[in-house]
Copies of this chain bind each other. A is one copy, B any other.
Amino acid sequence: MPTYTAPTQDLQFVLQDMLKVSSQDIPGYDELDPDFTGAVLEEAGKLGAEVLAPLNVVGDKTGCKLENGVVRTPPGFKDAYDKMREGGWMGLDCDPEYGGQGIAYVLHTAVGEIFSAANMAFHVYNGLTHGAVSALNVHATDEQKATFLPKMITGEWTGTMNLTEPHSGTDLGLMRTKAEPQDDGSFKISGQKIFISGGEQDLSDNIIHLVLAKIPGGPEGVKGISLFIVPKFLINEDGSLGPRNGVSVGSIEEKMGLHGNATCVMNYDDATGYLLGEEHKGMRAMFTMMNEARLAVGLQGYAQAEVAYQNALSYANDRLQGRDVTGAKNPKGAADPIIVHPDVRRNLLDQKSFVEGARAFTLWGAHLIDRAHRLGDKDADGLISLLIPVLKGFQTDKGFEMCVNAQQVFGGHGYIEEWGMSQFARDARIAQIYEGTNGVQSLDLVGRKLGQDGGKHVMAFFDLVKNFIKENEDNAELKAGFLDPLKAASKDLQAAGMYFMAEGMKNANNALSGSYDFMHLFGHVSLGLMWAMMAKSSMEALEAGASNTEFYETKIATGRYYMARQLPATGMHLARIQTGAEPVMTLDAASF
């Protein structure tokens, strides 16, 4: 059975050494000194390793069961959920006015990595609630906030997001769910929603569904969509639970993975709903929480890769097979551990260097969101909005790939469910799909974000890279191993951007045909920048006489691996991009 240990030292390194959270003047950051963040991560690590991780395989094997309209989550999930509630983990970064702890989102994100790596299917229940809380925070009336937030922040009630319908996924304009206005100001919601994570479960007393629907007579397409609060149980005036609302689970899906999380078909049949935000502005309301939701999914990608890597590494150290070609490393044993073989190391280092780079990118992204939300920093908001599709798309693609790589270390045993490596790959797979498929992420990046505010944010990113290189090029070690490859990769990214500007003007398909490659190119440059920053922080720590020299030296070596062996992908992506629309668009649909 696979195991999990929270990488607290690595998380602390990103928070304290790289992001220097304890010296940032941002509301909620004042308590983020190393002792505090260390203690929080330590506690989260215990919960993750001891409570959540052991339920991961159970969740996969047992799955969720729908019986008489009730969803039973896997054995142990309810207990674990109660432990999380008791620990106050749901409300870590939530508004203290409604019972939250008001701690920085960046620390919530670091904790989220631990829970997600330990048991992704379990933590999705919490993730959806957190998303619903965020939406309510921004768009709800004070009364709505007072009614829903306190119970959701404690986890007594959970939340869901209802967007997709059978014929309407990416194209939400096709949505059919209706919201009929009632005399009392409420609405009657009718329609069917699919792929609703945690739409029904036995963990919480009530489920607050946020549902997109159309008010009859409103504008066509996405401009006529509104957002509604539809509780499973209506709420009495005194806050207690009232009668059951007209919403029920129709079925749960059999999926490739994420079995511990119930993916529900939800039927709304004259269910009572309350408008959240303005009429017909439902899409806008969704967008306000999209950065956080997509960052959380990008996190899932590398979190699964982290736990898969831990187990692959352990197997590579244990499994004896063959000999080091340069001389036996375990001469008394029947064979050497397979970690001696260069190709096994290549595989492990691809995983390790990706995971650590992605962790830095994700926490840096969370820090930008803190700046945006807590300081009102519009530049940070613009930058993270640009980067979110990269973070989500690139990290979930690579995260899945690395889970597959980790599985490969086990040879035939990786294919056997007993070893648990298959589950990491099967679970990670969904992250490439939900919260907008990665193809849609690339479209968002190239079609919307790149040109936003006159291209200001992508220029800011390039400036960031340029300035970092400029400020540090006196450091010869940093220059050779990190800044030079970063500069080359960044040039490829700029050339791709230039190509889109020049050729996309003539024909939008010249840009859209390269959107996926651009997303990956951008991902590599982003992780390259993260590695350069982490290497710099490590060198500074070593110069300052840090005691754990091996940790910092390993960090630098891992970064050098990423720069040398992963960044060369940027040239390939650029070459593909520069072929433009012709190879992609030339065939008629009928000729495929």
User: Bound complex: CA of A337 vs CA of B170, how far in Å?
Assistant: 12
User: Bound complex: CA of A314 vs CA of B426, how far in Å?
Assistant: 24
User: Bound complex: CA of A174 vs CA of B335, how far in Å?
Assistant: 8
Residue of B nearest to A432 (CB): B408
Residue of B nearest to A414 (CB): B433
A256 lies within 8 A of B417 (CB): yes
A415 in the interface, Cβ–Cβ < 8 Å?
yes
User: Bound complex: CA of A584 vs CA of B560, how far in Å?
Assistant: 10
B416 lies within 8 A of A346 (CB): no
- For A284-313 the 0/1 string (1 means CB < 8 A from B) is 000000000000000000000000000001
B565 lies within 8 A of A583 (CB): yes
A583 lies within 8 A of B335 (CB): no
User: Bound complex: CA of A426 vs CA of B195, how far in Å?
Assistant: 21
A592 lies within 8 A of B352 (CB): yes
A437 lies within 8 A of B417 (CB): no
- For A173-198 the 0/1 string (1 means CB < 8 A from B) is 11000000000000000000011000
How many copies of this chain sit in the oligomeric assembly? 2
Interface residues on A, range: 35 or more
A571 surroundings in chain B (CB, below 8 A):
568, 571-572, 575
B509 lies within 8 A of A346 (CB): no
A553 surroundings in chain B (CB, below 8 A):
591
Residue of B nearest to A551 (CB): B591
Q: Nearest chain B CB to A386's CB is how many angstroms away?
A: 19
User: Bound complex: CA of A195 vs CA of B509, how far in Å?
Assistant: 48
B592 lies within 8 A of A169 (CB): no
Q: Nearest chain B CB to A323's CB is how many angstroms away?
A: 9
A408 lies within 8 A of B433 (CB): yes
A66 surroundings in chain B (CB, below 8 A):
none
- For A402-422 the 0/1 string (1 means CB < 8 A from B) is 001001100110111110001
A585 surroundings in chain B (CB, below 8 A):
342, 345
B554 lies within 8 A of A591 (CB): yes
A537 in the interface, Cβ–Cβ < 8 Å?
no
- Which of A128-136, A453-461, A512-520, A526-534 faces chain B? A512-520
- Which of A108-116, A438-446, A467-475 faces chain B? A438-446
Q: Nearest chain B CB to A541's CB is how many angstroms away?
A: 16
A495 in the interface, Cβ–Cβ < 8 Å?
no
A404 surroundings in chain B (CB, below 8 A):
400, 429
A564 surroundings in chain B (CB, below 8 A):
576, 579, 583
A171-B509 contact given A195-B412, A254-B416, A343-B443, CB 8 Å threshold: no
Q: Nearest chain B CB to A564's CB is how many angstroms away?
A: 4
A568 lies within 8 A of B575 (CB): yes
A125 in the interface, Cβ–Cβ < 8 Å?
no
Q: Nearest chain B CB to A254's CB is how many angstroms away?
A: 4
B321 lies within 8 A of A170 (CB): yes
- For A542-560 the 0/1 string (1 means CB < 8 A from B) is 0000000010011001101
A349 in the interface, Cβ–Cβ < 8 Å?
yes
Residue of B nearest to A447 (CB): B325
Q: Nearest chain B CB to A264's CB is how many angstroms away?
A: 12
B417 lies within 8 A of A255 (CB): yes
A325 lies within 8 A of B509 (CB): yes
B347 lies within 8 A of A439 (CB): yes
Picked from B255, B317, B412, the residue with its CB within 8 Å of the CB of A416 is: B255
A240 in the interface, Cβ–Cβ < 8 Å?
no
Picked from B346, B568, B592, the residue with its CB within 8 Å of the CB of A513 is: B346
Q: Nearest chain B CB to A225's CB is how many angstroms away?
A: 15
A462 in the interface, Cβ–Cβ < 8 Å?
no
A138 in the interface, Cβ–Cβ < 8 Å?
no
A322-B171 contact given A509-B342, A550-B591, A592-B313, CB 8 Å threshold: yes
A587 in the interface, Cβ–Cβ < 8 Å?
yes
B346 lies within 8 A of A584 (CB): yes
Q: Nearest chain B CB to A161's CB is how many angstroms away?
A: 13
A516 surroundings in chain B (CB, below 8 A):
343, 346-347
User: Bound complex: CA of A341 vs CA of B589, how far in Å?
Assistant: 11
Q: Could you name 6 residue pairs across A and B whose Cβ atoms are closer than 8 Å?
A: A255-B415, A342-B509, A408-B432, A408-B438, A408-B439, A565-B576
* A-B pairs with lowest CB-CB distance, top 5: A568-B575, A256-B422, A342-B512, A171-B321, A342-B513
Name 12 extra pairs, CB < 8 A, besides A253-B416, A343-B443. A167-B334, A173-B335, A325-B508, A337-B589, A346-B513, A347-B516, A349-B584, A349-B587, A554-B591, A561-B583, A565-B576, A568-B576
